[in-house]
Amino acid sequence: MSVATFADRWPRPSVMGIVNVTPDSFSDGGSYASAVDAADAARRMLADGAALVDVGGESTRPGAEPVSQEEELRRVVPVLEALAGVPLSIDTSRADVARRAIELGAAMVNDVSALRREPEVAEVVAAAGVDLCLMHMQGDPGTMQVEPRYDDVVSEVAAFLEDRLRFAVERGVAEERICVDPGIGFGKTPDQNLELVRRLDTIVAIGRPVLVGLSRKSTLARVQGMPGPVGGEPASLGAAVAAFDRGASVFRVHDVPAHVAALTAAAAVERGSVLA
């Protein structure tokens, strides 16, 4: 009997809606007054075509300070409880938070540290048989944007992700349950972010589905000549379609309906057919 793979569960292109239950995330921090509001927003995203929603209780914006595990759990558990039975990802790099989220129905652990903060996350994922996303980040959220340096950002990110993929598999995670994320905006300059998207085929060549988080990133604000740190939705859509054209599979976004529409059209053009 064949085993369902990550790509079977989240076929390309799949949209992942963002539900940050934090006061300080770069774009939507403090957006939800209660767990009920956050859960309602998640359900709207799913109704609008998201394949799953990613719930996070610790900001990873540039310069963010870590929160305690107790605070992270206090933020996410009520939202996860309110979303019982819907497709969820938990955005965490802590093993106990991942374990509790899985108990409450999370189907994926989205670890921005790629198992470096708490390697035990691998055992939690392996034991539960859920999916895992491994992301590249230079440094940590508090330091990652302090003069990030690479000789070749694409080859170095690819080598990092290959190494973390090996580590996860050695710790018992089934390779067919893993995706990788080049970490747009996580320890990269705007030009390095654009180069990662331009040469995304190098990341795709690792052989695992690629998740990208381009939505509203500050690089897009720079491209648009905007003064603030948050990029606009039209630029987010353009970047997502560019990433899709280069092989990306999953798209972590704020504006679900617009991304679903844009990526549905891009996928139809790629296959040359209205119907999948």
Are 245 and 263 in contact by the 8 Å Cβ rule? The answer is no
Angle subtended by helix axes 95-103 and 121-128, to nearest 10:
20
Report whether the peptide linkage leading into residue 13 is cis, meaning its omega lies within 30 degrees of zero.
yes
Among residues 94, 199, 208, 252, the one annotated as catalytic is 252
Are 269 and 21 in contact by the 8 Å Cβ rule? The answer is no
Angle subtended by helix axes 95-103 and 69-82, to nearest 10:
20
217 is catalytic: yes
Among residues 164, 208, 217, 246, the one annotated as catalytic is 217
What is the per-residue DSSP string for the chain?
-PPPPHHHHSPSSEEEEEEE--S--TTTTT--SSHHHHHHHHHHHHHTT-SEEEEESS--STTPPP--HHHHHHHHHHHHHHTTTS-EEEE---HHHHHHHHHTT--EEEETTTTSS-TTHHHHHHHHT-EEEEE--SS-TTTTTSS---SSHHHHHHHHHHHHHHHHHHTT--GGGEEEE--TTSS--HHHHHHHHHTHHHHHTTSS-BEE--TT-HHHHHHHT-SSSS--HHHHHHHHHHHHHTT--EEEES-HHHHHHHHHHHHHHHHT-S--
75 is catalytic: no
- Enumerate the active-site residues: 217, 252
